Amino acid sequence: MEKELYTITAFSENHIGLLNRITIIFTRRHLNIESLTVSSTEMKGIHRFTIVVEASLDLIERVTNQIEKLPEVLRAAWYVNDDIVYREIALYKIPINYAIDRNIEQVLREYNARLVDIQNDFVIIEKTGHVEDTEKLYDVLKPYKILQFVRSGRISISKHKKELATYLSELPINEYIKE
Amino acid sequence: MEPKNKITGAEAILLSLIKENVDVIFGYPGGAIMPLYDKLFDKNNELKHILVRHEQGAAHAAQAYAQVTGKTGVCFATSGPGATNLLTGITNANLDSIPVVFITAQVPSSLLGTDAFQETDMVSLSMPVTKWNCQVTCADEIPDAIAKAFFFATTGRPGPVLIDVTKDAQNELFEYSYKKIKSIRSYCIKPELNDKDINDAIQLIQISKKPLLFAGHGILLGNATNELKNFIAKTKIPTAVTLLGKTTVSEDDTAYVGMLGMHGNYAPNILTNEADLIIAAGMRFDDRVTGDINRYAKKAKIIHIDIDKAELNKNVKADLAIHADIKCFFNEITASLNYLSDEKWRNEFYVLHEKEEDKVIKKECFPEIGKIRAGEVIRLLSDKTGRDAIVVTDVGQNQMMGARYYQFKNPNSLITSGGLGTMGFGLPAAVGAQVGQPDKTVLLFTGDGGFQMTSQELGTIFQYNLPVKIIIFNNNFLGMVRQWQQLFNDRRYAETNMPTPDFPMMAKAFGIEGCVVSERENLNKTLDTMLKHNGPYLLEVKIEKEANVFPMIYPGKAVDEIILEN
Ligand SMILES: Cc1ncc(C[n+]2csc(CCOP(=O)(O)OP(=O)(O)O)c2C)c(N)n1
């Protein structure tokens, strides 16, 4: 089966070690995680994992099932890129003299990037988009002597009407109920 | 002075176990777990502790105890080496889905991460081999951790769980209260069985001419042997079992057609590739069952029922994958289905079975010449114990022989290491089985190799006077590996030939009776002596050195390429 880039989204309880349990599922199958983002959700105590991985559909289905099987994972689902709107955020640190000399304003406008911080000797530029977009800007900014570049993992939202997240709102408030 | 209403974390652990109906613990003490053992000293009446001789033994024993009693096994070990010694046993329980709660002690929380004496990161180490685990660093987390542990271990697809408790958490005083857990929002214990699935299944069954039912371990775990029995009584659909599903159905049930897999029976393996419908109930299409997956069951529609959704479509694509509790499934479908399998189809199994009887079974169970064979010993013991014993096996030829030739009739009467194939499982598992069923005859079939991996548990058998009957099939070889070397490596017996100690003498050193039998004419009498003996007994049987287990599906071959002899 052909490999493709998939995005797996999982919701879980916020417990120590769960990240480890999830990554083990990938390492065991010799799968490399392209990007991983973990963050809290709008629901207190529930975390969202966004995992980007290249694999065959067959394997993605099995891996997603294994993630959902973890007792503290609430839901897991996989998407192809067409199913989702997704973004990464990139930050670029550039010496201030280069930024002034070379008319950075035009670049910012053209690439829909923003200046987010100015210090005595450098500026920080932010761009949100797909990997290709932030990479493109990287190339453009290269002559500006990029001092530092950093890019986040992917976050995504599904185009389906009933997203996994709507299910969150239906969740019981308490993690567990005792007898 | 302790405030009256407060107790220590250690005592809280024990009280919580009692609340979860635990009465037996298998374990071994050490530094970090001393507070817990100190409290255990006062709880002798409610909690019986079995002191094993190695923590691996505690893990296997706890698993076997769980299997023969239907309760949850509980196991204690100290930090560091005590905990790491458990790992083989935890993994074994994990692959065979047995509910065991492991409690390991940990260094004081102030020392975590400092490479303190006997500190190991047991939570990380056990993560890939437990269903769930956690670390507890203060006493008031203990009740919830234990309640969750039992909930996860026993519900859904069962499995081992582990709680790592720091020494300071054991010593800390707190106000204790305990309630069991009823539900957890992230975890569904019983998937809903929908009508459509049942209707679809009924339709597939009704149009099938050659249906075959696979009964797996899930039926035992789901307590559904009666429901299975009703289903096959009504439909007479030929029923084959997996190794761990061996005791889901009595072998004299007319629908029973034998065991699947590499050393299973001839007929069900061959006819897997003839069937037009396979109903796979609580089994997971292990590679030892399927052989070459690309040539597996190609003529059959597949209905796969499992409580673990991740098993569905994992190894074999199902035409109808039903995520359900197996008991509910059988109840529903038996009520609504009107179907009787075709007699001609059923007869195909008998015809093929006659071949196996003739070419394999007769020679193995009723030989007249040559050295004693494992099969004949097992068949004799099957008869002599009225098929009513609990059979524990180790791993290797002894295991396949035990599964093949003891004629099981009771659910959960075969305790064997399936998924992991752990040599050394047998003796400690026999300890656990006998502790769980003190009035039953427990027979252990083991090899000379596997026995020596955990033979220290003779000490445990001696200490608690457990009347286990230990049968060592001594072929002076690591038999199963030697068989492969013979068949596939041109008889190059690399490191599989081993001299053995005087086993009965070893037993005697532990105060256990024993003897050797090597002649067929003495076999009957010796077996009687063993069975009549009041207490543990070790019988070493000198068997044919180069005997092989057949039938066999050679590695890489398809199930219908199973062969009866070399
Ligand atoms: C812990 C462990 N080590 C190695 C193996 C590989 N192995 C499988 S069967 C076997 C031979 C078992 O020999 P023995 O215990 O004498 O039993 P027999 O096959 O002769 O009945 C070996 C080495 C294993 N299953 N488990």
Mean model confidence pLDDT for chain B: 97
Identify the CATH number of the domain in which residue A78 sits: 3.30.70.260
Q: What is the pLDDT of residue A155?
A: 96
Among A161-170, B32-41, B78-87, B99-108, the range scoring the smallest mean pLDDT is A161-170
Closest ligand 1 atom to Cα of B452: 15
Determine which residue's CA is closest to atom 24 belonging to ligand 1.
Answer: B423
pLDDT band for B520, please (50, 70, 90 cuts): very high
Q: What is the pLDDT of residue A168?
A: 78
Sign of CA dihedral B106, B110, B115, B116: negative
Kindly state whether residues A47 and A61 are assigned to the same domain: yes
Active site includes B167?
Answer: yes
pLDDT score of B276 more than 60: yes
Rounded to whole angstroms, the Cα distance separating B482 from B489 reads: 9
Q: What is the pLDDT of residue A52?
A: 97
Domain ranges in chain B?
6-175, 195-349, 371-542
Å from CA of B547 to ligand 1 middle: 15
The architecture CATH gives domain B371-542: 3-Layer(aba) Sandwich (3.40)
Question: What element of type H or E holds B492?
Answer: none
Cβ B186 vs Cβ A13: under 8 Å: yes
Which of the 8 DSSP states describes residue A143? Answer: G
Q: Which of B405, B423, B472 is the best mutation target for the ligand 1 pocket, counting ligand atoms within 8 Å of the beta carbon and taking the most?
A: B423
Closest ligand 1 atom to Cα of B399: 21
Chain A hits for B147, CB-CB cut-off 8 Å, are 178
Number of domains within chain A: 2
pLDDT band for B3, please (50, 70, 90 cuts): low
Kindly state whether residues A150 and A97 are assigned to the same domain: yes
Pull the structure tokens for residue B385.
């114990």
Q: What is the pLDDT of residue A103?
A: 81
Pull the structure tokens for residue B67.
């299997």
pLDDT score of A140 more than 90: yes
Active site includes B359?
Answer: no
Task: Compute the nearest-CA separation of A79 from chain B (Å).
Answer: 18
Q: What is the pLDDT of residue B347?
A: 98
Q: Which CATH superfamily is domain B6-175 in?
A: Thiamin diphosphate (ThDP)-binding fold, Pyr/PP domains (3.40.50.970)
Q: Is B475 helix (H, G, I), strand (E, B) or coil?
A: coil
Q: What is the pLDDT of residue A172?
A: 87
Q: Do B185 and A68 touch (CB under 8 A)?
A: no
Query: What is the average pLDDT across B31-49?
Result: 97
Q: What is the pLDDT of residue B4?
A: 65
**Quick check: ipTM above 0.95?**
no
Chain B hits for A24, CB-CB cut-off 8 Å, are 127-128
For B100-137, how does the pLDDT look when each residue is reduced to its tens digit (9 = 90+)? 999 999 999 999 999 999 999 999 999 999 999 999 99
Query: What is the average pLDDT across B56-64?
Result: 98
B481 lines ligand 1 (CB under 6 A): yes
Task: Compute the nearest-CA separation of B126 from chain A (Å).
Answer: 10
Q: What is the pLDDT of residue A117?
A: 96
For A14-27, how does the pLDDT look when each residue is reduced to its tens digit (9 = 90+)? 999 999 999 999 99
Kindly state whether residues A77 and A26 are assigned to the same domain: yes
Closest residue in chain B to residue A63, using alpha carbons only: B310
Å from CA of B478 to ligand 1 middle: 6
B416 lines ligand 1 (CB under 6 A): no
Pull the structure tokens for residue B549.
């287990």
Q: What is the pLDDT of residue A99?
A: 84
Kindly state whether residues A73 and A108 are assigned to the same domain: no
Query: What is the average pLDDT across B153-168?
Result: 98
Active site includes B117?
Answer: yes
pLDDT band for B543, please (50, 70, 90 cuts): very high
Query: pTM for the full model?
Result: 0.96
Å from CA of B498 to ligand 1 middle: 12
Q: Which among B547, B480, B91, B559 is positioned nearest to B288, based on CA atoms?
A: B559
B473 lines ligand 1 (CB under 6 A): yes
Rounded to whole angstroms, the Cα distance separating B302 from B280 reads: 7
Mean model confidence pLDDT for chain A: 93
Q: What is the pLDDT of residue A160?
A: 83
Query: What is the average pLDDT across A54-78?
Result: 96
pLDDT score of A163 more than 70: no
SS3 content of chain B, % helix, strand, coil (to 5): 40, 20, 40
What count of CB pairs under 8 Å joins A to B? 69
Domain that holds residue A108: 85-155
Neighbours of B317 (CB within 10 A): 11
Kindly state whether residues A23 and A40 are assigned to the same domain: yes
A167 compared with B119, residue with greater pLDDT: B119
Q: Do A69 and B309 touch (CB under 8 A)?
A: yes
Active site includes B41?
Answer: no
Kindly state whether residues A7 and A72 are assigned to the same domain: yes
pLDDT score of B1 more than 70: no
Q: Which of B372, B395, B444 is the best mutation target for the ligand 1 pocket, counting ligand atoms within 8 Å of the beta carbon and taking the most?
A: B395
For B350-359, how does the pLDDT look when each residue is reduced to its tens digit (9 = 90+)? 999 999 999 9
Query: What is the average pLDDT across A63-67?
Result: 97
**Which residues lie closer than 8 Å to A2 by C-beta, 6 or more apart?**
A56
Q: Do A13 and B186 touch (CB under 8 A)?
A: yes
pLDDT band for A102, please (50, 70, 90 cuts): confident
Query: What is the average pLDDT across A33-40?
Result: 96
Task: Compute the nearest-CA separation of B164 from chain A (Å).
Answer: 13
The percent of residues in chain A predicted with pLDDT above 90, rounded, is: 81
B426 lines ligand 1 (CB under 6 A): no
> Which one of the listed residues B11, B20, B55, B227 is annotated catalytic?
B55
Neighbours of B173 (CB within 10 A): 15
Domain B195-349: which topology?
Rossmann fold (3.40.50)
Kindly state whether residues A24 and A67 are assigned to the same domain: yes
Q: What is the pLDDT of residue B5?
A: 82
Kindly state whether residues A169 and A118 are assigned to the same domain: no
Chain B hits for A60, CB-CB cut-off 8 Å, are none
Cβ B436 vs Cβ B68: under 8 Å: yes
Rounded to whole angstroms, the Cα distance separating B296 from B317 reads: 11
Rounded to whole angstroms, the Cα distance separating B124 from B309 reads: 25
Kindly state whether residues A100 and A120 are assigned to the same domain: yes
Active site includes B55?
Answer: yes
Neighbours of A174 (CB within 10 A): 11
pLDDT score of B96 more than 80: yes
Cβ B166 vs Cβ A165: under 8 Å: no
Rounded to whole angstroms, the Cα distance separating B424 from B453 reads: 5
Residue B412, CB-side half-sphere exposure with 13 Å CA sphere: 23
Kindly state whether residues A33 and A74 are assigned to the same domain: yes
Q: What is the pLDDT of residue A42?
A: 87
B34: β partners: none
Determine which residue's CA is closest to atom 1 belonging to ligand 1.
Answer: B423
Q: What is the pLDDT of residue A9?
A: 95
For B449-508, how does the pLDDT look when each residue is reduced to its tens digit (9 = 90+)? 999 999 999 999 999 999 999 999 999 999 999 999 999 999 999 999 999 999 999 999
Q: Which of B478, B486, B543, B544 is the best mutation target for the ligand 1 pocket, counting ligand atoms within 8 Å of the beta carbon and taking the most?
A: B478
Q: What is the pLDDT of residue A164?
A: 64
Residues of chain A whose beta carbon is less than 8 angstroms from a beta carbon of chain B are 12-13, 15-17, 20-21, 24, 28, 61-62, 65-66, 68-69, 71-74, 171-172, 174-179
Instruction: Burial-class residue B212 by CB neighbours within 10 Å (0-12, 13-18, 19+).
Output: buried
Kindly state whether residues A69 and A93 are assigned to the same domain: no
Among A103-112, B221-230, B394-403, the range scoring the smallest mean pLDDT is A103-112
Q: What is the pLDDT of residue A46?
A: 93
The backbone region for B458, taken as left when phi is positive above 0, alpha when psi lies in -120 to 50, beta otherwise, is: alpha
Closest ligand 1 atom to Cα of B475: 20
Cβ A145 vs Cβ A138: under 8 Å: no
Give the strand pairing for B181-184 and B211-215.
Answer: unpaired
Q: What is the pLDDT of residue A166?
A: 73
For B367-418, how does the pLDDT look when each residue is reduced to its tens digit (9 = 90+)? 999 999 999 999 999 999 999 999 999 999 999 999 999 999 999 999 999 9
Residue with tokens 């109906």: B21
pLDDT score of B44 more than 70: yes
B450 lines ligand 1 (CB under 6 A): yes
Kindly state whether residues A97 and A38 are assigned to the same domain: no
